[in-house]
Amino acid sequence: MESLRILLESDMTNSARLTATADVLCLLGAIVCVLSALVHWRAAKQEPTAGSALLHRAPILLTWAALVVMSFAVGWRWIEVNHFPSQTMSEVLTMFTTALLVSMVVLKPALGLSKRGHGWAILEDVLVMSVLVGVWATHAHVRTLSTAQRDLPPALQSYWFAPHLSCLIFSYATMAVAAVMCLVYFVTRFWTGVFRGGWSKTSQWIVLAGLLLVPFAQVVTIPMFVLAGLVFAVLHFSGRMPATDTVKRLETSFEEVSFRAFAVGFPFLTAGLWMGAFWAQEAWANYWGWDSKENSALITWLVYVIYIHMRLLGGYRGEKAMSVLVAGALSVFLTFQIFGYLPDSQKSLHRYTDDGVQPQEGMQGGAPQNQDQARAEPSTR
């Protein structure tokens, strides 16, 4: 196992060792989630298992343990590079996984799924398992990136750097949790439609194509899609397929849970945009420079604003509202990961996270001292 190998290597940094330790805890937590879900399934069939209370608490306890270790990993990385560790893509993704763990420990009591019964407790175990596996898989990707120390450019040496990045990364992590719930929603609709014939074949294949095209499909979407298919197949052929009304209530609850997760993350996304605008005003006397990543982040925010209006003012529920929420998640992924590959991003101020990219001289200036310089500054960016 890669994580264990890193732990045994003598030339690894302290932050890398701590990250590898968190990976081991995440894998253990994922295994415990499966065991806990099986126990809940047996309990739902009136087959209570003795001593299961500790087992049900174990996933979130291991999540907390992984979060504590990752917090130390971020702290060590801060010491190693001598600045807030969110300059390179490897550092940003490490911050993202830490925020993902924070989101899970915050959302678990807020959602209160386990209090609704054993069926909901199974869903909670699946959600926690998805987060833990996602953290582990992201760290596996981080190890393919450059982890070399890079000095912080003058343009990033601001007190706005840490809070701006922290708010955005936490919002992205929370929106990722909401996206997982959307995935569960559409997977449920797909397989119930397959075994009940409630959907047209065209609709089924559209959903299937959409699921497979979701980013990180090989890590999250495809495994969840296949696992859900196996579960629904067993239920169908054993004659225990849930009734139509039960499935509809389940889908309604999925939507409620995804909205609660969204409601936690959206204020942080908004705060991150505002902080970026204030930072730009101090640095370049311009709240909004129409930088390509600024525009991409604004589009993401507007997609979520549309979701709010559709759900709260338009009364949209179900497939329509969840589709917009998925569109927001795809926009987040575009802004967060695909942005650096877009043509217009090559001259962006926000490419500090790309490996091998050195900031241009025009990106490093301080705040303009007069109106002429303020007008000239955007052309140098």
DSSP conformation letters of 184-225: HHHHHHHHHHHHH--S-HHHHHHHHHHHHHSTTIIIIIHHHH
Q: Which residues contact 355 (CB under 8 A, 6 or more apart)?
A: 88, 89, 145, 146
What's the first-to-final CA gap in the chain, in angstroms? 45
0.85 exceeded by pTM: no
Q: Tens digits of per-residue pLDDT, 35-57?
A: 888 887 777 666 555 446 777 78
Give the model's pLDDT for residue 97.
93
Amino acid letter for position 8: L
In the prediction, which pLDDT does 236 show?
80
Reported as a single tens digit per residue, the pLDDT across 341-381 is 777 666 666 766 666 665 554 443 444 444 444 334 333 33
Q: What is the DSSP letter of 155?
A: G
Span 316-338, pLDDT tens digits: 888 888 888 888 988 888 888 77
Instruction: Give me the mean pLDDT over the 58-67 stretch.
Output: 92
Residues 253, 257, 262: CA angle, nearest 5 degrees: 145
